[in-house]
């Protein structure tokens, strides 16, 4: 066994050899990575905690040993930011960048493929180790954390090393998966999320298909990275992160009557990741799926939903306006829509009325049998989201808003206003119209710990732009064709054979 390596079974010569280098965060997810890549790669974490770049320079030769590595997935960062046990050393962003440069040059000499894992987030409250061991109330300011992240990005960009953006992956759900607000480590749920991302990234970089079978993407410059990728226009870097969900807007509404069972069922056939539907409360307290306050546009007869009973609304034909094939289609109840949602798929519930719908909505969700993570609630009225999160914080809820310019040319809402509203209402994310928003704004939103979602995108060019920017989901009227066009250029790469 090479010097400095953990005592594990001897490395098999017929599988690619992967070294994971990093601190306790990587130590936490490595066992899960090993399990996910069993039979595909031999995965080892070097002995001990890599700590800061200072320790890395002292021990890197020992960690590398004499093994011929096919791939090295590495990170240094948290120790440099916090200064654990190295408080007297120069751990400034500038010196961190210099030492990281030296470490990268050494790793490149191995001939292995290299992947940089971005440093996972610092904790929002004084870090427990610093408080207990050094009597220091240390909180890393977001601006300082950004300096360290950017320093690493400059080094990786210089050497054209692809990134696995674990920071962006875990940040939106940091509160849910962190051990505590004063602890940088993760619960098993968080370690598993990181591990899945690391395993997918490693598998893709080794030339294998990932679990979705989509293979690798070949960009115009010929560089290959995994299927969960984006090309950041802020950094110019290749970044591996989650693919956006394809959300069917009112179902596959370009081909079937919006907000109807035929539209939702068609969306699932077209492999949508989620459906989005509009929901209103009827005069007799039932929840139905319809966009407008009345039925004139879809039924040719005007009934105000809030003043009509379910029985009255169910007498209407809301399919014939889209052709004879849909004649006799009825307004569905929320229970009927829930019943179409497959396992591991999601539903985005857009509330089109006020807070009065929430008690009935929560009862309907409970009866549906859907899991909490299959439910996403969205609404333009921020008070509705606030009320929903107060009563049911277990469900994700996003604030919807279009972005416009006022007479002076200023964007409404401003970024500051977006942050203030999201914080006030305890929303999980911001869902914007596709216009007048750019990567810088989206990255700022995500850096604050919120998700970004976009609507309504039907063309490939716009969808690819948002996919590159890291948006969480893309809502579209054409889920089938958009999914097909987004991945039509993916080239299948042969599996690595033992």
- What are the pLDDT digits (tens) for 321-343? 999 999 999 999 999 999 999 99
Residue 239, pLDDT > 60, answer no
Tell me the pLDDT band of 228, cut-offs 50, 70 and 90.
very low
Q: Are residues 461 and 372 in the same domain?
A: yes
Pairwise CA distance, residues 207 & 11, whole Å:
20
Out of 12-21, 169-178, 426-435, give the one with best mean pLDDT.
Answer: 426-435
Give Cα 23 distance to the centre of its chain.
23
Counting beta carbons within 10 angstroms of the beta carbon of residue 13, is it exposed (0 to 12), middle (13 to 18) or buried (19 or more)? exposed
**Of 7-21, 329-343, 458-472, which gets the smallest average pLDDT?**
7-21
Nearest to 239 by CA among 118, 108, 97: 118
Pairwise CA distance, residues 150 & 101, whole Å:
13
In sequence order, what are the beta bridge partners of 130?
none
- In eight-state DSSP terms, residue 259 is T
Q: Are residues 286 and 393 in the same domain?
A: yes
Look at residue 479 and tell me if it is in a domain: yes
Q: What is the mean pLDDT of residues 6-14?
A: 52
Q: What is the per-residue pLDDT across 364-379, written as a single tens digit (0 to 9) for each? A: 999 999 999 999 999 9
Q: What percent of the chain has pLDDT over 90?
A: 71
Final residue belonging to a domain, choices 240, 255, 284:
240
**Of 83-87, 197-201, 432-436, which gets the smallest average pLDDT?**
83-87
Q: Are residues 236 and 249 in the same domain?
A: no
- Pairing status of strand 245-249 against strand 238-240: unpaired
Largest CA distance in the chain: 79
In sequence order, what are the beta bridge partners of 245?
473
Q: What is the mean pLDDT of residues 5-14?
A: 51
Task: Output the pLDDT for position 142.
Answer: 87
Final residue belonging to a domain, choices 211, 240, 269:
240
- In eight-state DSSP terms, residue 253 is T
In sequence order, what are the beta bridge partners of 216?
491
Nearest to 251 by CA among 170, 189, 340: 340
* Residue 475 near residue 247 (C-beta atoms within 8 A): yes
Q: What is the CATH number of the domain that holds 438?
A: 3.20.20.190
Average pLDDT, the chain: 87
Look at residue 329 and tell me if it is in a domain: no
Pairwise CA distance, residues 449 & 428, whole Å:
8
Terminal-residue alpha carbon distance, the chain: 22
Look at residue 1 and tell me if it is in a domain: no
Tell me the pLDDT band of 242, cut-offs 50, 70 and 90.
low
- For residue 338, give its domain range: 245-293+334-486
Task: Output the pLDDT for position 12.
Answer: 52
Task: Output the pLDDT for position 214.
Answer: 32
Nearest to 366 by CA among 399, 334, 396, 398: 334
Task: Output the pLDDT for position 488.
Answer: 56
Tell me the pLDDT band of 491, cut-offs 50, 70 and 90.
very low
Residue 98, pLDDT > 90, answer yes
Q: Are residues 32 and 160 in the same domain?
A: yes
Pairwise CA distance, residues 168 & 157, whole Å:
17
Distances (CA, A) of 379 to 34, 159, 173, 349, 385: 41, 44, 20, 8, 7
Residue 495, pLDDT > 50, answer no
Q: Are residues 203 and 338 in the same domain?
A: no
Task: Output the pLDDT for position 19.
Answer: 98
Tell me the pLDDT band of 418, cut-offs 50, 70 and 90.
very high
Torsion from C-alpha of 118, 27, 193, 438, nearest 10 degrees: -10
Q: Are residues 226 and 271 in the same domain?
A: no
In sequence order, what are the beta bridge partners of 218?
224
Residue 208, pLDDT > 80, answer no
Q: Are residues 445 and 410 in the same domain?
A: yes
Q: What is the CATH number of the domain that holds 155?
A: 3.40.50.1110
Residue 376: count of CB within 10 angstroms of its CB: 25
- In eight-state DSSP terms, residue 369 is T
Pairwise CA distance, residues 385 & 324, whole Å:
39
Look at residue 435 and tell me if it is in a domain: yes
Q: What is the per-residue pLDDT across 263-299, written as a single tens digit (0 to 9) for each? A: 999 999 999 999 999 999 999 999 999 999 999 999 9
Q: What is the mean pLDDT of residues 454-483?
A: 93
Rama region for 160: left / alpha / beta (φ>0; ψ in -120 to 50; rest): left
Tell me the pLDDT band of 496, cut-offs 50, 70 and 90.
very low
Look at residue 473 and tell me if it is in a domain: yes
Q: Are residues 265 and 347 in the same domain?
A: yes
Tell me the pLDDT band of 487, cut-offs 50, 70 and 90.
low
Pairwise CA distance, residues 100 & 95, whole Å:
8
Q: Are residues 363 and 229 in the same domain?
A: no
In sequence order, what are the beta bridge partners of 291?
none
Task: Output the pLDDT for position 13.
Answer: 58
pTM of the model: 0.60
Q: Are residues 51 and 180 in the same domain?
A: yes
User: How many structural domains comprise the chain?
Assistant: 2
Q: Are residues 213 and 88 in the same domain?
A: yes
Pairwise CA distance, residues 208 & 37, whole Å:
11
Q: What percent of the chain has pLDDT over 70?
A: 87
Name 424's Cβ contacts closer than 8 Å, sequence gap at least 6. 382, 386
Q: What is the per-residue pLDDT across 27-53, written as a single tens digit (0 to 9) for each? A: 999 999 999 999 899 999 999 999 999
Task: Output the pLDDT for position 91.
Answer: 79
Task: Output the pLDDT for position 218.
Answer: 26
Look at residue 319 and tell me if it is in a domain: no
Residue 187, pLDDT > 90, answer yes
Task: Output the pLDDT for position 136.
Answer: 75
Q: Are residues 134 and 260 in the same domain?
A: no
Final residue belonging to a domain, choices 240, 262, 277:
240
Look at residue 471 and tell me if it is in a domain: yes
Look at residue 400 and tell me if it is in a domain: yes
Tell me the pLDDT band of 225, cut-offs 50, 70 and 90.
very low
């Amino acid at each position: 066994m090479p010097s400095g390596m953990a005592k594990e079974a001897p490395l098999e010569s017929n599988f690619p050899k992967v070294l994971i280098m990093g601190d306790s965060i990587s130590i936490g997810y490595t066992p899960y990575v090993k399990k996910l890549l069993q039979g595909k790669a031999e995965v080892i974490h070097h002995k001990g905690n890599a700590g800061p770049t200072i320790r890395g320079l002292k021990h890197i030769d020992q960690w590398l040993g004499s093994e011929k590595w096919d791939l090295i997935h590495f990170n240094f960062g948290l120790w440099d930011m916090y200064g654990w046990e190295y408080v007297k050393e120069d751990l400034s962003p500038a010196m961190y960048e210099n030492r990281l440069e030296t470490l990268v040059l050494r790793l490149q000499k191995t001939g292995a493929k290299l992947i940089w894992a971005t440093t996972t987030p610092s904790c929002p409250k004084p870090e427990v180790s610093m408080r207990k061991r050094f009597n220091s109330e240390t909180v890393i300011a977001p601006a300082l954390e950004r300096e360290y992240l950017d320093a690493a990005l400059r080094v990786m960009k210089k050497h054209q090393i692809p990134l696995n953006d674990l920071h962006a992956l875990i940040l939106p759900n940091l509160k849910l998966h962190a051990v505590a607000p004063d602890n940088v480590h993760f619960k098993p749920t968080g370690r598993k999320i990181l591990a899945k991302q690391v395993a997918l990234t490693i598998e893709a970089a080794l030339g294998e298909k990932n679990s979705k079978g989509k293979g690798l993407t070949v960009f115009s410059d010929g560089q290959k990275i995994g299927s969960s990728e984006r090309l950041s226009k802020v950094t110019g870097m290749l970044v591996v992160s989650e693919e956006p969900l394809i959300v069917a807007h009112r179902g596959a509404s370009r081909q079937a009557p919006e907000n109807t069972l035929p539209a939702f069922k068609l969306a699932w056939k077209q492999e949508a990741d989620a459906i989005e539907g509009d929901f209103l409360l009827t005069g007799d307290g039932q929840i139905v799926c319809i966009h407008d306050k009345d039925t004139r546009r879809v039924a040719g007869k005007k009934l105000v939903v809030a003043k009509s009973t379910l029985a009255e609304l169910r007498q209407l034909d809301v399919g014939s306006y889209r052709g004879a094939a849909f004649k006799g289609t009825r307004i569905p109840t929320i229970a009927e829509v829930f019943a179409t949602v497959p396992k591991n798929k999601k539903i985005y519930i857009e509330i089109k009325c006020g807070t009065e719908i929430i008690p009935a909505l929560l009862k309907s969700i409970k009866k549906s049998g859907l899991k909490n993570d299959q439910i996403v609630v969205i609404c333009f009225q921020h008070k509705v989201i606030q009320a929903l999160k107060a009563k049911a914080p277990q469900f994700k809820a996003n604030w919807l808003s279009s972005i416009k310019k006022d007479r002076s040319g200023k964007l409404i809402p401003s970024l500051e206003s977006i942050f203030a509203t999201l914080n006030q209402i305890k929303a999980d994310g911001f869902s914007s119209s596709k216009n007048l928003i750019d990567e810088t704004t989206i990255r700022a939103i995500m850096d604050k710990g919120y998700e970004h979602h976009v609507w309504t995108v039907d063309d490939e060019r716009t969808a690819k732009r948002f996919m590159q920017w890291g948006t969480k989901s893309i809502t579209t009227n054409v889920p089938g064709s958009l999914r097909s066009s987004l991945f039509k250029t993916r080239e299948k790469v042969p599996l690595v054979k033992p």
